[in-house]
Structure 1
């Protein structure tokens, strides 16, 4: 185990700072006295007000600076590196979503490919101690061997989103080899929690339910062969990132590595939904049961995600373990409070949801 506490003397650059993971990571860094430079383009892929709410909680910290910009803008990224000279970079800015990548492929190339290339180029010309970037469990595609291990074959992505994340890993490996940039990729497994992404299934289910609409479940109504997901609570994700910050891969010939960050405990989607119903019932004091519509699996979906966390645990002595009962209750309590859901009567809701999981 090689875990070093955060160093407040370092300068941390976090892209995607107004996003779900970016916000919670930046908040943790700032609470521990670190200087954080946050970059985000505040796009409207989902509710921009939620992104502003996250930022408003970061603004009071004296050591927080915000730059509104797109990582696909090479000049902006270069200027940011030149001005602030970050020691540690965490690239979380990316266009998310599996199904959305089928409808809008262009934005994935701009953000996930060109944007990440710009980050690597900046790290090349303004050397950093450690570059951490978001990959995804989607790189495992439809692999049937479980749990997924970092050494598994991942050359058969089933969505453009997964292809861009696999490409990130390949390009990062090349830059680490050529320019000796200590780089770590993180394969996140279905992250959830309060103040999360409205396009994710659990959030969308709550939106639909309180809007008086049925939820869509993409498993053909096949409960015996239900979808499995390795749902990972946001606090566990942040703890994993923070521990890895002081653990750059400097002892290997090519200073590049990847880690899974997942719960190592996949749940059936229907069990997850029933747990969410109970959590919302606890939060509202009402019996919150979703109206359900079952549909076929969507293009790009995979039947199961299941992470091995052995490598992460060996490297930094940590493995995610928050049970969904605890994590979903925290989400439900936040949701009811944030949106003003009352115990009697449902709030008005008009925003559509993709129901992605």
Structure 2
């Protein structure tokens, strides 16, 4: 399969440049040989046109990216050959494609495939994995910001165990962070992953989290706390991950202790699954396989039919997003107040 990445759906020149840089990085990281799927630079050579969203820094409510995409010449001319790779927290599934954080309620197994994030993750994880000089001394860890109710609840609990490390952190996407501080936080987090037998992967703003794929890369066991997240196909997730009901988080140490003897073996399986499906070196091959899977199940639709479908999706999203935005604002304020109360109590 020949895959072409368009860039002219980006409203701004800097966004187009980010997509171009992403494509170049993907080509450089791709392991040569052994795959029937490749990136091409000419649309005439392509079997599939793959539009990417997150790497261009799009905000659905303040950007024309989705509108541009709906009216794109390729989408109009080849509606059944256009695919979207969208890893926004609240994606708009206006095209068949790969989605990192599409909620189960919006997921159509005929047109959608769950996948990893397109944008880069922590570059220091692989460096420390290859060194192999850190042994786990923690049962479980979690470091993150308050971006969902389940995370806020985690920070409220005192597990009273030295091998349970739960800490609220700065948001790594905060533009106020200096480059040096951002790098320090990434290195600290990479080391923490390797110190942990299990890593909590609660949902963030969206139902997915970068932490899940970083944990797999580190060869540790991801503990998924994300109601509504759809497991990516291909992997046998039951063999290398745990999914725990959010109502059971108070019992986390006891629940995880049952699986501790197999943690090392399970972590090896998690790393193997990452290398098979999510490693940048084989990502083009994985993308090609998933697109082929979509083509086998996705109903053929005319541009006119998809255009009306897209309008309904956008209208539903806008209504839901405004409601969700208000709820998240309330949760953050509650989390801040609880933190102040806890500090004053000490």
Q: TM-score, normalised by structure 2?
A: 0.27
More helix by share: 2
